[in-house]
Amino acid sequence: MNSVVIAGFKRSPFTFANKGALSKIRPEDLLSQVINDLVNNSNVNTEDIEDIIAGCAYPEGAQGYNIAKIVSFMTNMPTHVAGMTVNRWCGSSMQAIHNGVGNIMMNAGKVFICCGIESMSFVPINGLNFSPHPVLINENPNVYMSMGDTAENVANKYNLSRKDQQDFAIKSQKKAHKAYESEHFKNEITKIIIKNDEVSQDGCIRPNTSQEILDNLKLAFNQKGTVTAGTSSPLTDGASATLICEENYAKKNNLNILARIKSCAVHGCSPELMGLGPIEASKKALLRANLSIKDIEIVELNEAFASQSLACMKDLGISEEIINLDGGAIALGHPLGATGARITGKAAQLLKRENKKYALATQCIGLGQGIATVLEAI
């Protein structure tokens, strides 16, 4: 069976939706620039690319009309390169990677661009025309529960205080700022050109975040709860892309291999506790890789909320020392469809940088799901 590797990773800066530096750029232009940068830096022959698989949580409006194929025309791809948009909500671009892996293992192509896009400025959360099923929303309203309310449920279930969550958020901000100061983002970020301007830095990092500042924030979802905007990932615009290849192809063509993809998994959970999705998805992926959590030395866990991150860490037995070394989504932002490819590419990059053997990338998904990918150094 064909082995599959990550042979490239790029992302745009992540900036606040509606008010950040990327709020005016169309999502097609944003994703196109990231893909162009990925291809140019990897030296892959575009004639060998089978498909562009793009994850998007809200594939409508400017993100609709099969944005994956749209960007093929904007990136000078050969006509034969296909395009498919996939939606597993927050896990969409990690799912794009999983789709590419499956195709390669089935001999249905050797090279895939697996990417993600979300402009939460152009298409807001819940989309442009939210229309819940009238029977289902009455019979099972938890299906449509807001993500913030699920974060409160997780905090209650695991007895996580506001201070616990704020401690976690502060650490995320500090790690992200340290990574920026150390130029750890330099090689992964694509400079985005908007007319005569250039955007080259993340816009959501708040290095001065403190307990005092977070104490003064209003509760965001439940006035008797513990979750605030400071312990939640912000609404964000961004794009990310990975180059997924058959391992022998990558070696034959002297591509820069970051990591081998060892296993993949998804798992459903109760929608009102959607933040716990990574727990069973990670266990399943580890089992398929014939590994345990003790074998994992790098973890990229998407920080949708501090509460669900802490709960997953506790349940899985993940040490703080190995998680989100360069900060997570609370600091960097969470452009829904782009996050999965970012954390998978980042985990692969960190394996190489830190000289470690195994990594886990995992995230929760709205409606009650988790997704996970195990990586192995080469």
Which residues are known catalytic residues?
90, 334, 364
What does the DSSP 8-state code read for residue 13?
P
Chain-centroid distance, C-alpha 331: 13
Helix axis angle for 306-316 and 162-181, nearest 10°, is: 90
Q: Write the CA distances from 74 to 8, 68, 69, 285, integer angstroms.
A: 20, 10, 9, 35
Q: What is the rounded distance in angstroms from the CA atom of residue 87 to the CA atom of residue 93?
A: 8
DSSP 210-276: -HHHHHTSPBSS-TTS--BGGGBPPPEEEEEEEEEEEHHHHHHTT----EEEEEEEEEE--GGGGGG
Report the 10 Å Cβ neighbour count for 19: 10
Q: What is the rounded distance in angstroms from the CA atom of residue 177 to the CA atom of residue 198?
A: 21
246 with 110: CB under 8 angstroms?
A: yes
Question: In terms of DSSP bridges, do strands 82-86 and 298-301 run parallel, antiparallel, or are they unpaired?
Answer: unpaired
Q: What is the rounded distance in angstroms from the CA atom of residue 32 to the CA atom of residue 231?
A: 32
Look up residue 164 and give its two tokens: 């616990």
Q: What is the rounded distance in angstroms from the CA atom of residue 144 to the CA atom of residue 259?
A: 37
Q: What is the rounded distance in angstroms from the CA atom of residue 134 to the CA atom of residue 266?
A: 28
Q: Which helix (H) or strand (E) holds 10?
A: strand 4-11
296 with 282: CB under 8 angstroms?
A: no
Look up residue 334 and give its two tokens: 């969470």
Terminal Cα distance for the chain, rounded? 17
